[in-house]
Chains A and B, each alone.
Chain A
Amino acid sequence: MGELHTWAGVLLGVLLFAVFWTGSLSVFDKEIDRWMMPSTRLHWDDSMQRPSLDRDIRPLLEQRAANAPVWTIILPLERTPFLTLTYGSEESRKSSRDLFHPITLEPLAKPLTLGASGFIYPFHHNLTLRYKNIGAWLVGIAGMAMLCLLVSGVVIHRKLFSEFFTLRLHRAFGRSTLDVHNVAGVALLPFHLLITLSGLIVAFAIYYPDAPQHTYREQVQSGVSAERAFLGEALGRIRLRAAKQPGELAPLEPMVTKAEQYWGPGSVYLLRVNNPKDANGNVLLRRTSHSSVTKDIDNFRFANVSGEVMGRFQASATVNTWNFIAGLHYIQFRHDALRWLYFLGGLGGCVVIATGLFFWTQARRKKQQRHGHLGVSLLDALSVAGVCGVILATLAFLLANRWLPMQEQLFGLGRARVEILSFYAVWLVASVHAVWRVMQDPRLGYLHAWREQCTAIALLAVLAVLANWLTTGDHLLATLRSGNGPVAGTDLCLLAAAALALLAAHKLRRRVPQEETLEVAHV
């Protein structure tokens, strides 16, 4: 058991930290989006009248994407207070997306950024490495390792109950780091188990792609893919072929009214029009699930031309169990207290992983002191690069979002891409800095690296808050006064991060002389 704990921790600690870090941020991804996309800092609540689908939205679609194979309409919601229209084109698979003011239907200025929901959230579940799902597999392996670490960590911790509340913060750094690791790990154990397991279960299609094979043997033998059959039956995901005959799309409002007879008024939030100008096209309607943990995947399907109900999908109890588990992980339901607790719980997980990594490198260092092992030093550099580096990269992403000029193309690349390059570039610089510090001083270089990068985190966080003020005028006092939760919240968290980073840097500064004294005492 002990061997499993150490091995998994070393190999995957850095990866796990990145997944938990981006995961915690993803809890508030839509709020961070408001910060990163100033043109979307709007207000929407349930009491407001949503735009008319046939009178207001249809003309916009006809104007911009009359011949697109798919139209997607996402109606304004509280956390995404604007109308979203997405349309693919016949030539390319890429779809384009336009945002509109929820009341006036003025087109909003293009955000020219992927935002948190477009970069940080995908990074969390697939590291944005989509080739052959390599990124998702790495995240999956990290997830399984986390489960093993949680269980083996509990088994290793023989004094679990007697040391449940033991936090000896005034003792030696190594002892107090281990105490923080243990107490935070135990306090958040149910949360971490639920989040990790649910995260894996959500992505079953990647990790167990052949699961339907044996059960759907009949379908396979008659030429249908087992996976398609399963997704159709269990999740209501059906693709209907176009007739290649022209057809006039019936009004959409009556379809929504019909669906809302069953689902409740105001519950429809998404319409997907497949093959809008085709006789065999269909319109898919989805509903919100604000007040239940279970993610609602029920849908209504209407025929394009007649406007009649073609079908209604209702998930079975077993599938809704999966939807409950998924909903537990995605936390898209309305509950501010839980959302904040999830965010703090995720950051707590980051602390557990970082302290675990730090404690491990400290323990290894004591064993290999005499041999002056280069490997240990590089492992220290890896820890710094993995923890501070990804935080710095995220801050750079936010800063780039504010400072880069609002032009479609910059240096020959799309603006959104330049923001992402800033993320990776700063991560690389942080890694190089860590390695340099550790090579420069194999014994204490890692402390200098930690301290300097913590200071850099504080600096970049404050610069980000200033950047928001200078580029949008929505400074913290203004947003607090106007009740702009997302922007104020992001600024406040940035300032809190800066304060914590400065505190950490301060504690590390005092630690360096301690370490030097210990060194002298040993010699």
Chain B
Amino acid sequence: MSDAALYSLLALLLAVLGFAWLALALPNHWRQVHQGVQQTASRQVALRSGASLMLGLSLLCSLAGDSPAMAILLWLMLLGVATLLVALTLSWRAQWLALLWPARPQAERSAD
């Protein structure tokens, strides 16, 4: 595979990871993937920050493989593909996304 193709593939994978984390930051999708584990505000912040980082890295990967204009165009298209892939995964095999941000149910705290 050529360098440019490798960069594009990497950019796509980073975008998928980024969007998967953005999805997990949404309450209904977190519940879909991690039934029974409570979502916390700090985890949501972590997910969103991580997602931004991944999307930024994805753009840098595109820029590494192409001239700037084509790289940005490619990145926008890859974002679209990534969105669709994450949406489809949530629709069919939501549990797969658990691998991308594992979480165990915490022990019950007594109400103080």
Taken residue by residue from 90 to 108, chain B's Cβ proximity to chain A (1 for < 8 Å, 0 otherwise) reads as: 1110000000000000000
B79 within 8 A of A: yes
Give the shortest distance, in Å, between A147 (CB) and chain B (any CB): 17
- B88 near A: Cβ within 8 Å? yes
- Whether the Cβ atoms of B83 and A165 lie closer than 8 Å is yes
List the B residue with the shortest CB-CB distance to A169: B91
The answer, yes or no, to whether B8 is at the interface (CB within 8 Å) is yes
Beta-carbon contacts under 8 Å, A175-201 to B: 183-184, 186-188, 190-191, 194
- How many residues of chain B get a CB closer than 8 Å to chain A's CBs? 29
- CB 8 Å contact bits of A323-343 with B (1 = contact, 0 = none): 010001000010101100110
Q: Name the one of A167, A293, A328 contacting B87, with C-beta atoms under 8 angstroms.
A: A167
Q: How far is the CA of A170 from the CA of B88 in the complex (A)?
A: 12
B110 within 8 A of A: no
Question: In the complex, which range does the number of interface residues on chain A fall in?
Answer: 20 to 34
With both chains docked as a complex, state the minimum distance between the C-beta of A438 and any C-beta of chain B, in angstroms: 32
Separation of A186 and B5 alpha carbons in the complex (Å): 26
**A187 near B87 (CB under 8 angstroms)?**
yes
Q: Is A168 an interface residue (CB 8 A)?
A: yes
- Let me know if A292 and B83 touch, CB within 8 A: no
A335 touches B77 (CB 8 A): no
Is B45 positioned at the interface, with any CB of A under 8 Å from its CB?
A: no
B23 cross-chain contacts in A, Cβ below 8 A = 164-165
Contact B77 A168 (CB under 8 A): no
- B 22-63 contacts with A by CB, 8 A: 22-23, 26, 28-29
Q: Could you say which of B28, B77, B91 contacts A167, with CB atoms under 8 Å apart?
A: B91
Chain B CB within 10 A, most for which of A165, A167, A291, A348:
A165
Cα A120 to Cα B17 in complex, Å, equals 38
Asked if A337 and B90 sit within 8 Å, CB to CB, the answer is no
Q: Is the CB of A187 within 8 A of B83?
A: yes
Chain B hits for A161, CB < 8 A: 26
Tell me whether A187 and B28 are in contact (CB under 8 A): no
- State whether B90 touches A167 (Cβ < 8 A): yes
Point out the residue from A183, A184, A338 that lies within 8 Å of B77, measured CB to CB. Answer: A338
For B29, the closest partner residue in chain A by CB is: A165
Q: How far is the CA of A107 from the CA of B105 in the complex (A)?
A: 75
Q: A165-B26, A183-B83, A190-B80 are in contact. Are A341 and B74 (CB under 8 A)?
A: yes
A162 within 8 A of B: yes
Contact with B along A500-512 (1 / 0, CB 8 A): 0000000000000
| A292/B67 in contact, CB under 8 A | yes
User: B69 within 8 Å of A by Cβ?
Assistant: yes
**Contact between A162 and B26, CB atoms less than 8 A apart:** yes
* Residues of A278-301 whose CB lies within 8 A of B: 291-294
Give the shortest distance, in Å, between B39 (CB) and chain A (any CB).
14
| Bound complex: CA A444 to CA B19 (Å) | 40
Q: Would you call A166 an interface residue if the criterion is a C-beta within 8 Å of the partner chain's C-beta atoms? A: yes
When chains A and B are docked, how far (Å) is the Cα of A349 from the Cα of B99?
32
Indicate whether A188 sits within 8 Å of B26 (C-beta atoms), given known contacts A292-B67, A335-B70, A337-B8.
no
Q: Choose among B79, B81, B84, B86 the residue that contacts A190 (Cβ–Cβ < 8 A).
A: B79
Total number of residue pairs linking A and B with CB closer than 8 Å:
78
B92: chain A residues within 8 A (beta carbon): 169
A167, A170, A194 — which one has the most chain B CB atoms within 10 A of its CB? A167
- Say which residue of A168, A186, A291, A328 sits within 8 Å of B67 (CB atoms): A291
Q: Is residue A111 within 8 Å, beta carbon to beta carbon, of the partner chain?
A: no
| Chain A residues, Cβ within 8 Å of B19 | 165
User: Is B80 touching A345 in the complex (CB atoms < 8 A)?
Assistant: yes
Given A191-B76, A337-B8: A164 and B69 interface contact (C-beta under 8 Å): no
- Closest B residue by C-beta to A331: B73
Smallest distance from the beta carbon of A315 to chain B beta carbons, Å? 16
**Residue of A164, A168, A194 touching B26 (CB-CB under 8 A):** A164
A165 touches B74 (CB 8 A): no
Q: Are B74 and A338 in contact (CB under 8 A)?
A: yes
Question: Chain A residues near B73 (CB, 8 Å)?
Answer: 293, 328, 338
Asked if A187 and B29 sit within 8 Å, CB to CB, the answer is: no
Q: How far is the CB of B90 from chain A (nearest CB, A)?
A: 5
Please state if B74 and A337 are interface contacts (CB–CB under 8 Å): yes
In the assembled complex, which residues on chain A have CB atoms less than 8 Å from the CB atom of B90? 165-167
Residues of A contacting B88 with CB < 8 Å?
Answer: 167
Q: Whole-angstrom distance between the alpha carbons of A338 and B67 in the complex?
A: 13
Say whether, besides A164-B26, A167-B90, A184 and B84 are in contact (CB < 8 Å): yes
B79 cross-chain contacts in A, Cβ below 8 A: 187, 190
Bound CA–CA A164/B28 (angstroms): 11
Assess the B70–A333 pair: CB atoms within 8 A.
yes
- Chain A residues, CB < 8 A from B81: 187, 341
Contact of B80 with A165 in the complex, beta carbons under 8 Å: no
Interfacial chain B residues near A292, Cβ < 8 Å:
67, 69
In the complex, are the beta carbons of A187 and B69 less than 8 A apart? no
Complex-state Cα separation, A341 to B66, whole angstroms: 15
Q: How far is the CA of A293 from the CA of B67 in the complex (A)?
A: 9
For A166, give its contact among B74, B76, B84, B87 (CB under 8 Å). Answer: B87
Write out the residue numbers on chain A whose beta carbons fall within 8 Å of the beta carbon of B80: 187-188, 190-191, 345, 348
Beyond A187-B81, A194-B76, 20 additional contacts (C-beta under 8 Å) are A162-B28, A165-B23, A165-B86, A167-B87, A168-B91, A169-B91, A186-B83, A187-B84, A191-B80, A292-B69, A293-B70, A294-B69, A324-B69, A333-B70, A337-B5, A337-B74, A338-B70, A341-B81, A345-B80, A348-B80
Query: Can you give 9 contacting A-B residue pairs, CB < 8 Å?
Result: A165-B86, A166-B87, A166-B90, A186-B83, A187-B87, A190-B76, A190-B80, A293-B70, A337-B8
9 A-B pairs with least C-beta separation: A187-B83, A341-B77, A167-B91, A167-B87, A187-B80, A165-B87, A293-B69, A165-B23, A190-B76
